[in-house]
Amino acid sequence: MGVGFGLKTATGIIAAVLVAAAAAQARQVFAPLAAALFIIAIVWPVQKRLQSWMPKLAALAITVIVTVAVCLSFASLAAWGFGRVGRSLIADLPRYQDLYAAMVTWLDGHGVSVAGLWAEHFNVGWLLRATQYVTGRVNTTLSFWVIALIYVMLGLLEVENVRQKIERLDNRIAAHVLLDGSAATAAKFRRYLLVRTKMSAVTGLLVGVFAGITGLPFAFEWGVIAFVLNYIPFIGPFVATLFPTLLAMTQFESWPAVLGLFACLNVIQFVVGSYIEPRVAGTMLSISPVVVLFSIFFWTFLWGLFGTFIGVPITLAMLTFCAAHPSSRWVADLLGGPDPAKPGKF
């Protein structure tokens, strides 16, 4: 009995490692598909309601347009905030040059040659490679979302057909697991996005209020930027604290004030993102806060920035499907918690 269980456990671990390796190697194939499935789960109730009283293609067009409009609105908010702040940063370039000159003088006085380091590491070749990398990342991101959007459009048309095919399966256990697991996963995806939105709003409000209290210009813009970037765990909050600190360097007269602002902003991001949100998400989504953090780091390692965003939903889907079958339910019980919502239907 013990030998059999140990063999099954070892086989499961090996299979998980192989699947993770395949996911990392084929990220350009699987990542857009994962994004599409996540979006389909979010917007399917809209598509279903619309196509109940209009042609399916018309409902699809409206659903896709609304989805794209929402995504573009978030991108526009970030662009507006950074645009407003960016003009101020550019206007303060002479002051940044003075700060840089003072730093170089101080480092040279302590035996650190900044000019030599700059010439060694930040030459024309480095700048060209950095430009090529950024251009390649932009092109890859655009291609990624175009492919994901195509998957979304095709997937929304196939949801009902897939459900009917699953219902006709001879293997009733497999049909039950797929139907209940898919319905429960979609419901958890929507709750996850709701939690993420609430926590992003809290973060944006706290950052905006703190910036206003400290007298930092563009307090409202900093709140908007923090709200939008908080949808990207860890990386987004870091960017949302870095740029206010850069502005504070020219607005405040003392370095302790600048460092204090940077520390307080990071405390806000840490408390909301690493303490409150994992516990709220864990309570609502039946997943351990430790698993929430681990899934973010793990999928970031596999898929980069997109993995940071989609890591928790992927882990949610895995645990939900484990809970739908008796043989794997122990995994969900071990890594999750009591599920507040019962599986629904498509």
> Using one digit for the tens of pLDDT, what is the confidence trace for 119-157?
555 554 555 566 566 566 666 777 888 899 999 999 998
Domain total of the chain: 1
pLDDT above 90 for 206: yes
Rounded average pLDDT over 262-282: 81
pTM over 0.85: no
Tell me what pLDDT residue 346 has.
42
The closest of 9, 47, 307, 322 to 159, measured between CA atoms, is 47
3-class secondary structure for the chain? CHHHHHHHHHHHHHHHHHHHHHHHHCHHHHHHHHHHHHHHHHHHHHHHHHHCCCCHHHHHHHHHHHHHHHHHHHHHHHHHHHHHHHHHHHHCHHHHHHHHHHHHHHHHHCCCCHHHHHHHHCCHHHHHHHHHHHHHHHHHHHHHHHHHHHHHHHHHHHHHHHHHHHHCCCCHHHHHHHHHHHHHHHHHHHHHHHHHHHHHHHHHHHHHHHHHHHCCCCHHHHHHHHHHHCCCCCHHHHHHHHHHHHHHHHHCCCHHHHHHHHHHHHHHHHHHHHHHHHHHHHHHHCCCHHHHHHHHHHHHHHHCHHHHHHHHHHHHHHHHHHHCCHHHHHHHHHHCCCCCCCCCCC
Domain that holds residue 190: 30-335
Rounded average pLDDT over 85-103: 76
Mean pLDDT highest for which of 28-37, 233-242, 287-296? 28-37
pLDDT above 90 for 66: yes
Enter the tokens of residue 221.
């813009």
Confidence of residue 273 (pLDDT cuts 50, 70, 90): confident
Enter the tokens of residue 114.
């900044």
Tell me what pLDDT residue 64 has.
92
Rounded average pLDDT over 168-181: 88
Rounded average pLDDT over 1-6: 54
Q: How far apart are CA 96 and CA 102, in angstroms?
A: 10
Residue bearing the bigger pLDDT, 212 or 332? 212
Tell me what pLDDT residue 342 has.
45
Domain assignment present for residue 10? The answer is: no
The residue type at 147:
I
Domain assignment present for residue 341? The answer is: no
Domain assignment present for residue 142? The answer is: yes
The residue type at 220:
F
Domain assignment present for residue 39? The answer is: yes
Q: How far apart are CA 315 and CA 262, in angstroms?
A: 32
Domain assignment present for residue 22? The answer is: no
Tell me what pLDDT residue 69 has.
93
Confidence of residue 46 (pLDDT cuts 50, 70, 90): very high
